[in-house]
Amino acid sequence: MKYIEPEELSKGLNSIPVVDVRSPGEYSHGHISPAINIPLFDDEERAEIGILYTNSGREMAITRGQEIVRPKMHALVKHAEQTALKGKLMVHCWRGGMRSEKMAELFESTGLECLVLRGGYKAYRKQLFSDFENLDNLVVIHGATGSGKTEILKELEKRGEQVIDLEFLANHRGSAFGSIGMDPQPTTMQFQNDIHFRFINMDNSRPIWIEGESLNVGKVYLPNTLWDKMNRSLVIRIDMPRNLRVDRIVKEYGNYPGESLAACVKIIEKRYGGDRTKNVLQLINGNNLAEAVDQLLNYYDGLYEFSLGKYKEGKIIEVKSGSADAKWNAGLIMNRVKEISKYA
């Protein structure tokens, strides 16, 4: 049995399968993104062992744990063999203690080769926050609501650029309307792990493009170290006429039921104001979506300008566009960044 340090983990995530031996509940709350769950104990068994450890001591807990595991050893090994790549696995638990060590011993007794993550999932999470501090070439795409930032990122990715799509990973578009038509959001912990997995598989010497977001995207939160890095990085601000932004938003949300749109407006009622909310709701009920969006942009544009002025410490480069075409705007942005790099 060999150990792998948390800072070395990124080198092995694509070359060796990761096995998370924690309980299903622990795993579902948050896990290393490519990890496969082969739990030593299910949630009820883990709770039983924990209570026994507290009330009767370590030896009694170990004895009971052995009783629970013995009947399912064959199934655990079979799952591990099916998961292994060329007979190799990386195994971890919460702190890199008894669960991962015992499972690695079991797997190795059948001929598999195992690495154990030192410090376990807890150490991985600490390393995650540290890794985001080392993002050297982050480029943040900003723009007022309706500027098509997500579509621009997709076009950049098609051109071979490195992109982290936060809204895709969060299952949320980042506003009060962001959950419409989306799957349920992951936990904050899983969201952060998924971002980290994208990042560690990228070349940090090349630009990594990301959309400017608030600290939270819906109900999930960015890692603080990534948020801080985004606020200190180069910002490319796409600026396009308001009427184009209105058209884009209407096309994106116009097919959703009016009741769903109205429910989203009510989320911001306290901050937006009762009279203005009532007016927008009447416009939605009358299917006058363009006017409703135009009025809502007064609110969202104000929030955007406040956020940009308060949090951004890095250089802000403005790119003006008279088009809502994402391909065109991606080209404008790439050319502007090349100019900056040439004369920097």
Question: Of the listed 18, 93, 140, 268, which one is catalytic?
Answer: 93
For residues 326, 327, 328, 333, the Cα torsion angle rounded to the nearest 10 degrees is 80
Question: Are 143 and 213 within 8 A, CB to CB?
Answer: no
Judged by DSSP in three states, 250 sits in helix
Q: Please state the separation of Cα 293 from the chain's center in Å.
A: 28
Question: Are 244 and 294 within 8 A, CB to CB?
Answer: no
CA distances in angstroms from 39 to 42, 145, 150, 186, listed in the order given: 6, 44, 37, 21
In this structure, which amino acid lies at residue 4? I
- Residues 330 and 238: their CA atoms lie apart, in Å, by 10
Catalytic-residue membership of 264: no
343 dihedral zone (left: phi>0; alpha: psi -120 to 50; beta): alpha
For residues 138, 314, 156, 192, the Cα torsion angle rounded to the nearest 10 degrees is 50
> 73-83 vs 98-108: helix axis angle to the nearest 10?
80
- Residues 164 and 170: their CA atoms lie apart, in Å, by 11
- Residues 286 and 313: their CA atoms lie apart, in Å, by 43
Question: DSSP E strands: which ranges in the chain?
Answer: 2-4, 18-20, 36-37, 88-92, 113-117, 138-142, 162-164, 208-211, 216-217, 220-221, 234-239, 316-320
DSSP character for 215?
Answer: S
Residues designated catalytic: 93
